[in-house]
Structure 1
Amino acid sequence: MALRVFLVEDSAAQCAYLTQILTTEAKAVIVGVAATETQAVSWLDRHPGQWDIALVDLFLSEGTGVGVIRHCQNRRPEQSILVMTNHARNDHLLHHCERLGVDAVYHKATELDSLIAYCKSMAARMPRCAA
């Protein structure tokens, strides 16, 4: 079973790049994409158990990633919330994400390798279908 990623990103170029790298490097399947908080919340409501990772940009053109993360508070234990940002990492941001139950925070420009490693690790723990 492939790792299912729901991507919340308002930059079309960044979305395309993340889709390409996640599908080729982590062998993930992008099951949904949203550019705004409203779109993301709507998708999550319609597909509650159909994702393994929600990869959420904190700063969106409409709404915020924080609103999306809050909407995921009742997710299944095996579902992960990952945050990505272009903003400098700081203790306040990390602490806030931790309080919201985020599993990891990555800087878009400098930590994509760590993001891919997390996804690969999660995919390796997923059950395989018998052939």
Structure 2
Amino acid sequence: MPLKIFLIEDNEMLRNELREALEEVVPVEVVGSANNERTAVHWLSSHDGGWDVAIVDLQLKQGSGIAALEWCRTRRKDQRVVVLSNYLTEDVRTRCLALGADAAFDKSHDIDKLLDYCRERHDAVRA
């Protein structure tokens, strides 16, 4: 059974590349995506149990991924939220973790770590 991923990323090219990279390493199903804060929060709130991992970019076309992180505080205990951002300073990482993110990755050099995280999550959920 695939790991259900929800992508919050405003760059369509990166969103597609991320989907392809995930599909190469992990049995995944990208169940939805959003490129702005409003769409992200609406999708999450109307698909409460329809995802396993949400991957959240902080800089969006409209709004930010912070609202999605805040909404995800109400998620099920088996769901995970990870941040994937170009602006991941230690302060930003600390804030994201304080808001409930399970992990935070830098887009420029942590993609392999994100893929490893998703592979491990798939194995844990599907074991």
Fold match by TM threshold 0.5: yes
Q: How does 1:41-120 map to 2 (within 5 A)?
A: 41-87=41-87, 89-120=88-119
Instruction: Tell me, yes or no, if the aligned pair for 1:52 and 1:78 is still in contact at 8 Å.
Output: yes
TM-score by length of 2: 0.95
Distance 2:124 2:53 in 1: 13
Q: Runs ≥4 in structure 1, deviation > 2 angstroms? A: none
Distance 2:116 2:126 in 1: 18
For 1:15, give the aligned amino acid.
Answer: R
How far 1:72 moved relative to its partner? Answer: 1.0
For 1:14, give the aligned amino acid.
Answer: L
How far 1:12 moved relative to its partner? Answer: 0.7
For 1:79, give the aligned amino acid.
Answer: Q
> How many residues are matched?
127
* Larger helix share, 1 or 2: 2
After superposition, the C-alpha distances for 1:97-121 in whole angstroms (9 at most, x for unaligned) are 1110101111112111000000000
TM-score by length of 1: 0.93
How far 1:127 moved relative to its partner? Answer: 3.1
Aligned-residue sequence identity (percent) comes to 34
Question: Mind listing any 5+ residue stretches in structure 1 that lack a counterpart?
Answer: none
In our comparison, the structure showing a higher alpha carbon Rg is 1
How far 1:25 moved relative to its partner? Answer: 1.5
How far 1:90 moved relative to its partner? Answer: 2.1
Q: SS at 1:125's partner residue?
A: helix
For 2:124, give the aligned amino acid.
Answer: R
Distance 1:127 1:9 in 2: 26
Kindly report the root-mean-square deviation, in angstroms, between the aligned alpha carbons of the 2 structures: 1.0
Establish whether residue 122 from structure 1 lines up as the match of residue 113 from structure 2.
no
Q: SS at 1:61's partner residue?
A: coil
For 2:76, give the aligned amino acid.
Answer: R
